[in-house]
Chain A
Amino acid sequence: MTAFIDCDNLVKIYKVADLEVVALQGLELAIDQGEMIALVGPSGSGKSTLMNILGGLDTPSAGHVMVGEHDLLEMSRKQQVNYRRNVVGFVWQQTARNLLPYLTAQENVELPMTFTRIKPQERRERAVDLLTQVGLAERLDFRPQQLSGGEQQRVALAVALANQPQLLIADEPTGEVDSEAAAGIFDTMRHLNEAFGVTIVIVTHDPDVAQRVNRVVGIRDGRVSVEVLRRGEGGVDLTHEEFVVLDRTGRLQLPQGYLDVLAMQKRVIVRLHDDHIGIYPDKMEEA
């Protein structure tokens, strides 16, 4: 089955003054439709860049990225606007970026639909429906400052889904709320994922969030380095395994800790065994 999001050898280079910064160094990632994953990684790892690309805010310097039927490398500016409007939704960490303080919850949800040709009546109905879905049916006329942090983020989720996007990108959605609220937000996201089949990518540093998704993708130095898959039934983790991601060209990133322990630096020796590949430090280098 073709992945919903398919990043193939994605490269993004920024030029800052005379310096070139390679934010993505041939990243490869595949996300199926309806998946809910977490994207983790240290600052400067390239996850914001990847988010910008997936969100249609930026174009890669090289490589290939498909979101659904949209080739993000080949989109014109107008197509990018339509993509941001109809295919992807955003939830930011800061409330100020998610909600307008002078609009009610319902009006905030209607706002993205204002930029489309949806009729006002339909807008209202959809807004009410979305807010009901996120459990805020009684808060339609409340302004953001009248809502708790968690409620604000749930409204933000509704706003992000206003135009029925296929992809929802959330940047630290629980970064500014307490754990209880964070749990509520996350439950809402899972509900929306199940109810609407929307693919959700959560960028986070929160280990709790990472534990609540079935798949965690770790990015380091502009590449996907590790993945953690959880398999379970009925919300109970049955298996939890961490993988080092192997890209199409056979490259993988070894955890830095391992490298430090074995003092592996420039060259390693790779030996094929019957059921595994052994990677050994270069003894001659040590010598």
Chain B
Amino acid sequence: MFRLTLKRILKDWRLVGVLLLTMSLAAGFLAFGPMYVRMIAAASLQQRVSTEIERTFQLTLRNQTVLDRDFVDNTVDTTLGAYAGEMRQFYAAQPWICASPRGCYRPYAFSEFDSLFALKEGRLPSNTPQNGIDVEAVVLPRMTEMDRAYIGQQFILGEDSDTAITVEVVGIVDALLPETAPYWEGMTIFDVVNTPVGDNTRPDVSFIVSEDAYLEHVTVAVTDIDRIVMWRVMLNREWFTAARADDFLMAYHDFSQAMRLEAPNINLNTGVVDLLESFQRSVEEAQAPVILLSFLIFALMLYNCITIAALLMEQRQEEWIMFSSRGSSTLQLVQMQVIINLLLAIAALVGGLVIAWLTLLILATVGPQADVLGMPEISLIQMDTFALLAIALVLIVIGLTIPTYVAATRSLAVLKQAMARPPQTPIWARFGLDFGLIALGLIFVVRLVSQVANVPLETIISQPEQLLDVLTSQDFGAQLNDPFTLAAPALLIMGSALLWMRLFPLIVSGIGRLTEVRNGLTSRLAFWNVARDPAHYAQLVLLLIITLSLGTASILLDAARQENSRSVAVAQVGADAAIDVIPAEYDDSFDPMTLPGVEAASDMMVVPVNAAREITLLGVDPAELDAFPDLATPLNVLHDIAAPDLGGLQVSEEAQTIALDIMSLPDESAETSTTIAAFVDLIDTRGLFLSMELVPQSRTSPGTFSTYQTNPLPCVGPWTLLGIRLTAEQAGNDDFVHTVIMDALVAGGTSQQLASFDADTLDDWRWERGSDQMIENASLIPETERYTQGDGALLVRYSVETYGPRMTQPALVYRPVVEQPMPVLISPAFAEAYGTRSSLRRPLDVGDTITTELIIQEGFQTAYISNRSIPSRTLNMRYTVAGIIPEMPMFEPDALYLVTTTEWLQLTLNQDASLGEFHEPNRTLLKLNGERPSSDFYTATETIPGLLKATAAWDIYQQLLRDPLTNAITGVLLVGFWISLILGIIDFAFYMIVTIRRRAMSLATLKAIGWRNRNILGLLAIEQSIVIVPALIIGLIFGVGLTLVLQPMLGIHTALVIPVTIWALPLILIVAFALTLVSVMQLVYRNSVQIMRFGE
């Protein structure tokens, strides 16, 4: 039997080859899906690796005790190998060590000092200091600002006099690595740290000593600190590829274990692990749906394989008849063919792998994602590849046994000449299986929707349109893990397929009758031919419909995915591009419009607030936003918001000082003289409050005017004068009344007179509380009257009293503004979260005014400059809801955000800020003249002073295009379309060959009565059209439907996008079948001639 089988294979090598190709295509397709997922994920990983910040590739080890350096080196080498690059060790301590004289310090020591620092001034520390100094130290340049540290500075560390050490700063060094280098993360060696202590701040200094000095002296002197020993290993970025992901994670695991054996409490941290695990997760998450979809499409291909195999066996019918006549049983016939199928399956294991690989290669070269995919690597082939190939081939062999069995029993029937009898109605049609399956499928759909998707049954019945909404919703996609979920579409599809088989002959007959009214034989004959064998034509049409649906869905999904990615990218950034800056380092004179390709720019202030859920406070300039319609539209209400009123007196921008003439009248009852003090309170447009003392410019004497003047106003401005505060001191007297006369409040350096105090009344001036007591005690309000000598001045008689630790300081304020809540637009999530927490106990609504306490960081939160310590403070933010924004770019739908004008936000946030740390615009949105920024744009942004990062929507778009799941689904559909098309063409070609052979006599007869070859071609072309036209129309419609269902499942929420390339599908189909027809026509020419000769 085996020899016979081999001979049969050799004899029919062409047909066997076609069967092998068919099996390889189908099996290769099933194996292709997971490989493609890995390929896309690898491309995505590659892009992330290449753009990820350097800090991600740093491995930090932190321990409290010193470890043997050789041990650490060896462990790194043996476990991490080539992944690890340079390693550096350093020592630090926590918390700050307060020393004497006053001041607190933090020591650092570096094992690789020479490669990290260069001497700038003074000298490097010696390990043998002289002159009673125990430890010599160096500092970095900014430490010496405001004389916080200086060469020659000495301080003592340690409270125990026996072990205390004297430290002297002997030099200033520069860091050789850039300040933004990840190595410096968390280190405080660059700047003095202002540590909050009560209401004040304490400047803390970090210094650097040698490793020996640290270990031998510092750790001995100071025992009540946490000693920190750290190693930082830079991992080699170029080593991190998808192929090595598993390898590195295993190596890292081994490394961690080895280190923890030696130091159980050691802490290890690297961003690479998250990166690689995220990659692995993305592959895992995409694999399941891709494999599921692949199996569904594979079922179609399996059906194609079965019909092709059936046609092939029909070609061998005579042979099988002969076997039957020689006494072979049906089982033996099946056995012979199964042996062939098994041998082919083994060959298809390799063939399928080749097909899968070639498919990847084609997609990487000319596919729709060719520009984001790299070349396929061997690592893409894993165990699941072979497992899927094996499963596919087992299913194919089982599937091909069906037509084998049918052919075997048919051979006996033909032998009995039973095939001469007309075919009976199939069993499924006799028992209405098609209707039954459809009804059952609908029941499952109703079950699915009502139970799984939580929509009541009555709702579905009364509002059937809700069914479609549920089926196309994102939540529905999550139900795919319910096995019964697939039962519904499976039953519906099977039932619909059988119903199609029932209806197709009726349709063809109906159309055929319509064509009968026309003269001409061709179309009538064509329809009659099709009507005679509707089963196979119906199957072929069905297969083509599904094939075309796959292609249509693939193209539409890809277009929608690109459009969606583009929208999401722009929405994430808020515009075409955005630049984030560190305001303190930013040059305000820089004009972003000078960047290449920039058409419009809009500054904004983005302030993240740490809370249980992160909140973002956003300040924008409505006028500048008009160039960004996506943002301008939801924020349109901001145009109607009035600018905050600062009150006060606007001081000229050219003002250098504020000056006030004051005459202090002598107190006759006082035993000692009275010393007065005056202050001006200022505020600028950023809400920064400044109180400056008015200092007498000359020696004062009671009874004469002296000019009191502030120091030069800080450059941050322009300023608004809010008011003047007065106080006085009498030695030994805390409770007295004093009188001063004030005249001529001027802006120094200009001709601006802020107030003359000549009028009889104070007009817009009024006394404001200098303390809480002034509100309660009217006697504390100063008396004023006009001083009539000279041009006129203001006489002020005021009480000085002490209430606890505070003294009253009456303030004369100009046009004070009643507390004004900040008008804001908020997100629905914010309204819900903070409204329910407030006294309102309900979501916030337009018009509500509440106060919310937030913890905000001073100045600009620099998540990326982690070597700076930025204090935070409590802000009581009072605001009025001017609008609720349902959705807006830059934020997720459920994000907590609050938007107002930059003016308002600054005024609110900076109310207690210092001149050194305040909030100001830190992001600029850019509108570009093209979708993709030019390379000049990227180059130019790198030179922006104070740049933190520049983000282009294009880059995010490219990243989103690399999303494994959507890419893989689209790719599987596209490849599924092409392979199904090839199988369909093979099926069709074989069917044409078989039928032409079967119809050889009738075709020859037609030629004998005068038909030419072109008439026969026309006949066959019409028969083809009966197959292709419904497939085209229905396939395109089904493809659109499939797209609409898949889009929300893949998180694509754009409207349907129909690219021009969609019309390529019907064209491909028509061309493919036309070529097949032309090829098969050769058989017509040959056969007809033979038949005619036979008749001689």
A positions within 8 Å CB-CB of B: 14, 16-17, 48, 52, 57-58, 78, 81-82, 84-86, 90, 92, 96-103, 107, 111-112, 114-116, 159, 162-163
Let me know if B11 is at the binding interface, CB within 8 A. Answer: yes
> Can you list 27 pairs linking A and B with CB atoms under 8 Å apart?
A14-B421, A16-B422, A48-B417, A52-B416, A57-B412, A57-B415, A78-B329, A81-B328, A82-B327, A84-B325, A84-B327, A85-B327, A85-B328, A96-B318, A96-B322, A97-B318, A102-B8, A102-B10, A103-B7, A111-B323, A114-B1, A115-B323, A115-B326, A115-B328, A115-B329, A116-B327, A159-B326
Q: Kindly identify which residue among A16, A52, A78, A112 contacts B326, using a CB–CB cutoff of 8 Å.
A: A112
Let me know if B332 is at the binding interface, CB within 8 A. Answer: yes
A115–B335 Cα distance when bound, in Å, is: 11
Q: Which 5 residue pairs of A and B lie closest in terms of their CB atoms, listed nearest first?
A: A85-B327, A102-B11, A112-B326, A81-B329, A84-B327
Let me know if B139 is at the binding interface, CB within 8 A. Answer: no
Q: Is the CB of B322 within 8 A of A98?
A: yes
Let me know if B611 is at the binding interface, CB within 8 A. Answer: no
Q: Is the CB of A115 within 8 A of B332?
A: yes
List residues of B (321-370) whose CB comes within 8 Å of A's CBs.
321-329, 332
Given A102-B8, A111-B4, A115-B328, also A97-B417 (CB < 8 A) = no
Please, which residue of chain A has its CB at the minimum distance from the CB of B318? A96
Please, which residue of chain B has its CB at the minimum distance from the CB of A104? B7
A14–B419 Cα distance when bound, in Å, is: 13
Q: Is the CB of A97 within 8 A of B325?
A: yes
Q: Is the CB of A112 within 8 A of B327?
A: yes
Q: Kindly identify which residue among B7, B327, B421 contacts A16, using a CB–CB cutoff of 8 Å.
A: B421
Interface string of B206-230 (1 = CB under 8 A from A): 0000000000000000000000000
List residues of B (374-421) whose CB comes within 8 Å of A's CBs.
412, 415-417, 421
Q: Is the CB of B422 within 8 A of A17?
A: yes
Q: Is the CB of B322 within 8 A of A57?
A: no
* Known contacts A52-B417, A111-B4, then 6 further A-B pairs from the complex at CB < 8 Å, ordered by chain A residue: A16-B422, A58-B416, A78-B329, A96-B318, A97-B318, A114-B4
A163–B327 Cα distance when bound, in Å, is: 9
A114–B415 Cα distance when bound, in Å, is: 20
> Which of chain A's residues have a CB closer than 8 A to the CB of B8?
102
Please, which residue of chain B has its CB at the minimum distance from the CB of A85? B327
Let me know if B942 is at the binding interface, CB within 8 A. Answer: no
Let me know if B247 is at the binding interface, CB within 8 A. Answer: no
> Which of chain B's residues have a CB closer than 8 A to the CB of A48?
417
> Which of chain B's residues have a CB closer than 8 A to the CB of A99?
322
Q: Is the CB of B422 within 8 A of A100?
A: no
Please, which residue of chain B has its CB at the minimum distance from the CB of A169? B325
Q: Is the CB of B327 within 8 A of A86?
A: yes
> Which of chain A's residues have a CB closer than 8 A to the CB of B417?
48, 52
With both chains docked as a complex, state the minimum distance between the C-beta of A166 and any C-beta of chain B, in angstroms.
13
> Which of chain A's residues have a CB closer than 8 A to the CB of B422?
16-17
A86–B318 Cα distance when bound, in Å, is: 21
Q: Is the CB of A102 within 8 A of B318?
A: no
> Which of chain A's residues have a CB closer than 8 A to the CB of B322?
96-100
With both chains docked as a complex, state the minimum distance between the C-beta of A91 and any C-beta of chain B, in angstroms.
10
Let me know if B894 is at the binding interface, CB within 8 A. Answer: no
A125–B620 Cα distance when bound, in Å, is: 101
> Which of chain B's residues have a CB closer than 8 A to the CB of A102?
7-8, 10-11
> Which of chain B's residues have a CB closer than 8 A to the CB of A163?
327
> Which of chain B's residues have a CB closer than 8 A to the CB of A101?
11
With both chains docked as a complex, state the minimum distance between the C-beta of B16 and any C-beta of chain A, in angstroms.
13
Let me know if B319 is at the binding interface, CB within 8 A. Answer: yes
With both chains docked as a complex, state the minimum distance between the C-beta of B12 and any C-beta of chain A, in angstroms.
9
Please, which residue of chain B has its CB at the minimum distance from the CB of A86? B327
> Which of chain A's residues have a CB closer than 8 A to the CB of B412?
57
Q: Is the CB of B416 within 8 A of A57?
A: yes
A81–B11 Cα distance when bound, in Å, is: 27
Most chain B CB within a 10 A radius of its CB, from A107, A114, A162, A163:
A114
Most chain A CB within a 10 A radius of its CB, from B10, B11, B329, B421:
B329
With both chains docked as a complex, state the minimum distance between the C-beta of B717 and any C-beta of chain A, in angstroms.
102
A30–B326 Cα distance when bound, in Å, is: 25
> Which of chain B's residues have a CB closer than 8 A to the CB of A78?
329
Please, which residue of chain B has its CB at the minimum distance from the CB of A17? B422
Please, which residue of chain B has its CB at the minimum distance from the CB of A91? B325
> Which of chain A's residues have a CB closer than 8 A to the CB of B327?
81-82, 84-86, 112, 115-116, 163
Q: Is the CB of A92 within 8 A of B1?
A: no
A82–B417 Cα distance when bound, in Å, is: 20
> Which of chain A's residues have a CB closer than 8 A to the CB of B11?
101-102
A253–B323 Cα distance when bound, in Å, is: 38
A57–B325 Cα distance when bound, in Å, is: 9
Q: Kindly identify which residue among B10, B326, B329, B421 contacts A111, using a CB–CB cutoff of 8 Å.
A: B326
Given A102-B11, A103-B7, A111-B4, also A85-B326 (CB < 8 A) = yes
A82–B416 Cα distance when bound, in Å, is: 17
> Which of chain A's residues have a CB closer than 8 A to the CB of B416?
52, 57-58
Q: Is the CB of B325 within 8 A of A92?
A: yes
> Which of chain B's residues have a CB closer than 8 A to the CB of A81?
327-329
List residues of B (1-36) whose CB comes within 8 Å of A's CBs.
1, 4, 7-8, 10-11
A98–B417 Cα distance when bound, in Å, is: 16
With both chains docked as a complex, state the minimum distance between the C-beta of B936 and any C-beta of chain A, in angstroms.
72
A107–B5 Cα distance when bound, in Å, is: 13
> Which of chain B's residues have a CB closer than 8 A to the CB of A14?
421
Most chain B CB within a 10 A radius of its CB, from A78, A90, A98:
A90
> Which of chain A's residues have a CB closer than 8 A to the CB of B328?
81, 85, 115
Please, which residue of chain A has its CB at the minimum distance from the CB of B416? A57
Please, which residue of chain A has its CB at the minimum distance from the CB of B324? A84
With both chains docked as a complex, state the minimum distance between the C-beta of A247 and any C-beta of chain B, in angstroms.
26
Q: Is the CB of A100 within 8 A of B319?
A: yes
With both chains docked as a complex, state the minimum distance between the C-beta of A96 and any C-beta of chain B, in angstroms.
5
A57–B11 Cα distance when bound, in Å, is: 29
List residues of B (301-330) whose CB comes within 8 Å of A's CBs.
318-319, 321-329
Given A58-B416, A81-B327, A115-B332, also A97-B321 (CB < 8 A) = yes
List residues of B (240-290) whose CB comes within 8 Å of A's CBs.
none
Q: Kindly identify which residue among B4, B7, B318, B325 contacts A90, using a CB–CB cutoff of 8 Å.
A: B325
> Which of chain B's residues have a CB closer than 8 A to the CB of A92?
325
A269–B332 Cα distance when bound, in Å, is: 59
With both chains docked as a complex, state the minimum distance between the C-beta of B216 and any C-beta of chain A, in angstroms.
93
Interface string of B479-511 (1 = CB under 8 A from A): 000000000000000000000000000000000
Please, which residue of chain A has its CB at the minimum distance from the CB of B421? A16
